[in-house]
Amino acid sequence: MNASARTGNATRSGKGLGSVFWTSLAISLVFVAWGVIAPTHQMSVMSVALDHITRGFGWAYLLLPLILLAFLLFLAFSRFGRIRLGSDDDRPEFATHTWIAMILCAVMGIGLVSYGIAEPVSHMWEPPHGLAEPGTPQAAVVAMQYSFYDWGLHAWAIFAVFGLAIGYSMHRKKRPGLVSALFRPLLGRHADGPAGKAIDVFTVFATLFGTTTSLGLGALQIDNGLNRLLGTPTGTTTQVVVVVAVTVLFSLSAASGIKRGIRYTSEVNLSIASVLFLFVLLLGPTSFLVSLFLESVGLYANDFLVMSLRGPAFGDIGWMQGWTYFMMAWWVSWGAFVGIFLARISRGRTIRQFVLVVLVMPSAAFFTWFAVFGGAAIDLDMNHGTDIAGATAADINSAFFATLAEFPLPTVTTALVVVLAVLFFVSGADANTYVLGMITTHGAVKPRTPILLLWGAMTGVLAVILLLSGGLAALQQTVIVASAPFLVVIVGVVVAFWRDLRSDPAVAGGSEAAPVVEEEPEPVH
């Protein structure tokens, strides 16, 4: 049996656990042990590292997404746009509406609940970079503009680059679904040796902590919602119980596979989210919300370049660490996970279709969500004497529920939000568990169930450790620190992907041609 056949069998079955699995598991266990034995020391080290990274290299979190966005638009509107993620006769595996639902819900769903109201309201009363007077109409527009910035094109540029590169590598070049495999045009056979394994370990580490952050945020939201619905006590005990319960759910969902658990959960999520969205849009100040949306989009477009590169030159490093740097680091840490997931569900899509849908559709969905829910909260505070901003400042997880309490049927809508948070929790985390299993089993398309359950449990344990150590602040610190080395990996991915594309037969020969499947190199030991 040749090297290619051996690799193919391993990729399909996921048999054999190599150094990436054991090294990744060991690092994760060391972090868990550190958090159990010396949580205060762990958070102190993370805080120092966070300050060093953001003060010394924070500019990279601003510049890199902008460069990636320009690169993607170039690909989409050039001759490379017609290349398929797969053979030239491949067609999409999922219907477009299902594909978009999976992108939206399995990627960043919990953020809709955690920050859909909390971020605009927070920016309203503490405008970014002092660009407006707090509580004014101008502050409302700026608040929405910067919410769009954190959740729009910049985030999806990071995801789309990874998704394209991995989808091209997996489906067209027939390589394993590993980030290290993307580096073959740069590293040659060394991409399958120690250098490549180090890249995959970095990928696991960043992915694990990116999703742990989401898991922790979801637990905080569900904890608050259960308190409002059932009167359960809030605090770390309830949050730990929530994490354990949901970890069991998403691990079982991941074990059932993409076509069952993740797909159906995503479609249910989208239905519930749509009901809540229409409920607030139609019963709220519809005209105000539409006007706020349009004006905010206009300001976002007008200030796009300046906004994208505005850093803490004048001392607002604390605000940047809490918002822009945290958000961009979160997306960087999610890059490989989301990329592998997007690649897995996007076989047969052209580069042009992939770029335009992945950049535009989720960004538009998040823009409208933030404008409707965040705008409704802003209107209530400005014109109806509520204090949602105060409630948010006291507990950021109360923002969504405090807003719905001002609408009809608050008990019903709060219950729907709790269900939505749980399902977003499950769909995002089980996609992550699938990807971690894939990375640590040589790119297996169907990782074995015990491996999926192990990474599901590890994600839950890490979320518990961070919640006990410092709650939201601990989650934010850890994701920024864990994502920093991955900035270098992203640059390497772009360079290697560009080398791959330039030699693709479909463009190199000037006509559509069957892709060349490269021979598997002998691994370097």
Confidence of residue 288 (pLDDT cuts 50, 70, 90): very high
Task: Give me the torsion for CA of 178, 183, 185, 189, rounded to 10°.
Answer: -80
* Residue 228, both tokens: 């409002």
Q: How many CB atoms within 10 Å of residue 266?
A: 29
* Residue 283, both tokens: 């019963």
Q: How far are the Cα atoms of 41, 133, 153, 279, 333 from residue 148, in angstroms, in the given order?
A: 36, 20, 8, 22, 19
* Residue 380, both tokens: 């209530």
Those residues with Cβ within 8 angstroms of residue 102's Cβ, 6 or more apart along the chain or in another chain: 94, 262, 263, 266, 345
pTM of the full structure: 0.86
* 3-7, 143-147, 159-163, 229-233, range with the lowest pLDDT: 3-7
Q: What is the model's pLDDT at position 71?
A: 97
Reply yes or no on whether the pLDDT at 521 is more than 90: no
Give the whole-angstrom CA distance, residue 193 versus residue 195: 6
pLDDT tens, position by position, 170-214: 999 999 888 999 999 999 888 889 999 999 988 888 888 777 777
Is the model more confident about 479 or about 346? 346
The one-character DSSP state at 519 is P
Mind listing the domains of the chain with CATH numbers?
18-504 (1.20.1740)
How big is the chain, counted in residues? 525
Q: DSSP states of 165-176 as a string?
A: HHHIIIIIS---
Q: Given 3-state DSSP classes, what are the helix, strand and coil percentages for the chain, each rounded to the nearest 5? A: 80, 0, 20
Give the whole-angstrom CA distance, residue 114 versus residue 278: 19
Terminal Cα distance for the chain, rounded:
20
pLDDT tens, position by position, 208-266: 877 777 777 778 888 888 888 888 888 888 888 888 887 777 776 666 655 555 666 66
* Average pLDDT for 343-360: 93
Give the whole-angstrom CA distance, residue 401 versus residue 356: 34
Those residues with Cβ within 8 angstroms of residue 305's Cβ, 6 or more apart along the chain or in another chain: 66
- The packing angle between helices 118-125 and 96-115, to 10°, is 40
Give the whole-angstrom CA distance, residue 449 versus residue 437: 9
Phi, psi (degrees; rounded to nearest 5) at 99: -60, -45
